[in-house]
Structure 1
């Protein structure tokens, strides 16, 4: 168990220092975390609407922070190249995220064109039904995306690393809500990048 928690701690630390240097990204992660927490509660009431909130708000704010605001190129804070970070990324790197988000966008189109999903579900008869079908499709995509990466990590690294990553992803909203709660305040003060003094001190 000690090794598991050390692996989880390392994954959290690497994720923070490598991929959350932008105060805008941190602020968006704070918004994303709060939204995810609401969707966690909603999943026990209506999984489809929970997934709509999670993908429509939580994931879009989260990934927008990474795609549009996080610095790319050589990382002077950690003294590594962007290529190195992408290669060692435990979770979804940029290429994997592009594939995941492409599937996310494609699912509503697919359900609009084939409401029965090739005969596998009861087709929706109104707009609300269609929206809830999209929500359930996104819910399944989230579960599948999580499990697929765990299996990949199991095959390429170890099962423990895969389970640690899944644990990290599931608990990230709780962790990020605390870690990045002050990011909007720093952003309002005009600080676009976290100086990462705590990271530099480790080198």
Structure 2
């Protein structure tokens, strides 16, 4: 268990130091963490709504921070290139995230074109039930994405690395809340009156 905890701490530390330099990104991760925690609270009461919150707000804010605000050049602080960080990333690096987010976008499109998913689900009765189907589709995507990458890590590295990574992902809203709760205030303090960041 000590090795598991040590590896979990290492994965969290690597993720923080390599991929969370931007205060905007950290602030968006705080918003994401808060939203995920709300989604966790209602997951067993209304999984469709929980998933719509998780993917529609938490994941979009989280990935926007990585795609648009995190620097992609040489990391002076850690002395490594962006390519090096992407190569050693345990979970979903930016390329894998592009693939995942492309599938995410395709779920509502497919359900719009084929509302019964080729006869496997009941035709939605109005917009609310369409959105509920999207939410369940996104929930299945989230669970599938964690399971898929975990199995990849079982094969590429070892079972413990995959289990540690899956644990890190599921518990990330709690650790991100703790790590980045001060980021929005720091971001506001670093913004000049003219609206430009210092």
- The TM-score by the shorter chain falls in which range? over 0.9
Q: CA deviation at 1:121?
A: 1.1
**Secondary structure at the residue paired with 2:99?**
helix
Could you tell me which residue of structure 2 aligns to residue 182 of structure 1?
Answer: 182
**Comparing 147-156 with 112-121, which one deviates more in the overlay?**
112-121
Please list every run of 5 or more consecutive structure 1 residues that lacks an aligned counterpart in the other structure. Answer: 194-203
Instruction: Indicate whether 1:5 and 2:2 are aligned.
Output: no
Q: CA deviation at 1:120?
A: 1.3
Separation in 2, partners of 1:158, 1:93:
19
Which structure is richer in relative contact order (CA contacts within 8 A, separation 6 or more)?
Answer: 1
Instruction: Indicate whether 1:102 and 2:102 are aligned.
Output: yes
Instruction: Indicate whether 1:55 and 2:55 are aligned.
Output: yes
Q: How does 1:26-45 map to 2 (within 5 A)?
A: 26-45=26-45
Could you tell me which residue of structure 2 aligns to residue 19 of structure 1?
Answer: 19
Separation in 2, partners of 1:189, 1:131:
38
Separation in 2, partners of 1:184, 1:128:
33
Q: CA deviation at 1:88?
A: 0.4
Q: How does 1:113-192 map to 2 (within 5 A)?
A: 113-190=113-190
Q: CA deviation at 1:35?
A: 0.4
Separation in 2, partners of 1:96, 1:121:
29
**Comparing 145-154 with 125-134, which one deviates more in the overlay?**
125-134
Separation in 1, partners of 2:105, 2:174:
27
Please list every run of 5 or more consecutive structure 2 residues that lacks an aligned counterpart in the other structure. Answer: 192-196
Separation in 2, partners of 1:54, 1:81:
31
Could you tell me which residue of structure 2 aligns to residue 197 of structure 1?
Answer: none
Separation in 2, partners of 1:146, 1:120:
24
Where does structure 1 differ by over 3 angstroms across 4 or more consecutive aligned residues? none
Deviations 1:105-146 (A, max 9, x none): 011010011111111111212111111000000000000000
- What TM-score does the superposition give when structure 2 sets the normalisation length? 0.95
Could you tell me which residue of structure 1 aligns to residue 93 of structure 2?
Answer: 93
Could you tell me which residue of structure 2 aligns to residue 46 of structure 1?
Answer: 46
Count of aligned pairs between the two proteins? 193
- What TM-score does the superposition give when structure 1 sets the normalisation length? 0.93
